[in-house]
């Protein structure tokens, strides 16, 4: 602020409030090209390596698949979990402590293998392929 009480733009001498026009030009336009807006913009590609249009990805169709899959998986997990101690003690003749230990190991393994799925989804397959592959494996093993 100068002595008259008004703000004055400072020069390009490095003082506070100065800016370079060249820096603004290098950052690029603030508005996207309309052609770029039709694609996802997050690097998603199809199986041929082409950018994916926004209208063909995600949405409620994918949400219904993931929610339905997760509901079935949770029902199967907790159904097995509640009956596993009884099965291990009655059919496999394990002691209570041994059966409880084995159930805890099984439960921990189920929760830790999600980290393997996360690494595969984030680096190689993507979330939908990872969910599809591991759901198929899960249902084949349970069924």
Tell me: the pLDDT tens digits for 50-100?
877 777 666 677 788 888 888 988 898 899 888 999 999 999 999 999 999
Is 107's pLDDT higher than 70? yes
- pLDDT, averaged across the chain: 77
> Region 25-49: what's the mean pLDDT?
65
pTM greater than the 0.85 cutoff: no
Domain boundaries, the chain: 57-142
CB 52 within 8 A of CB 40: yes
Q: Give CA separation, 85 vs 1, 77, 90, 103, in Å.
A: 77, 13, 8, 7
> Region 124-136: what's the mean pLDDT?
85
């Amino acid at each position: 602020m100068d002595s008259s009480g008004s703000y004055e733009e400072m020069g390009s001498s490095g003082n506070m409030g100065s800016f370079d026009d060249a820096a603004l030009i290098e950052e690029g336009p603030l508005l996207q090209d309309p052609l770029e807006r039709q694609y996802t913009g997050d690097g998603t590609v199809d199986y041929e390596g082409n950018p994916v249009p926004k209208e063909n990805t995600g949405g409620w169709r994918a949400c219904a698949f993931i929610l339905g899959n997760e509901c079935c998986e949770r029902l199967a997990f907790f159904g097995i979990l509640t009956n596993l101690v009884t099965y291990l003690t009655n059919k496999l003749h394990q002691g209570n402590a041994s059966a409880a230990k084995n159930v805890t190991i099984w439960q921990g393994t189920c929760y830790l293998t999600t980290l393997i799925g996360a690494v595969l989804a984030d680096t190689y397959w993507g979330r939908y392929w990872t969910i599809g592959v591991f759901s198929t494996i899960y249902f084949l093993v349970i069924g």
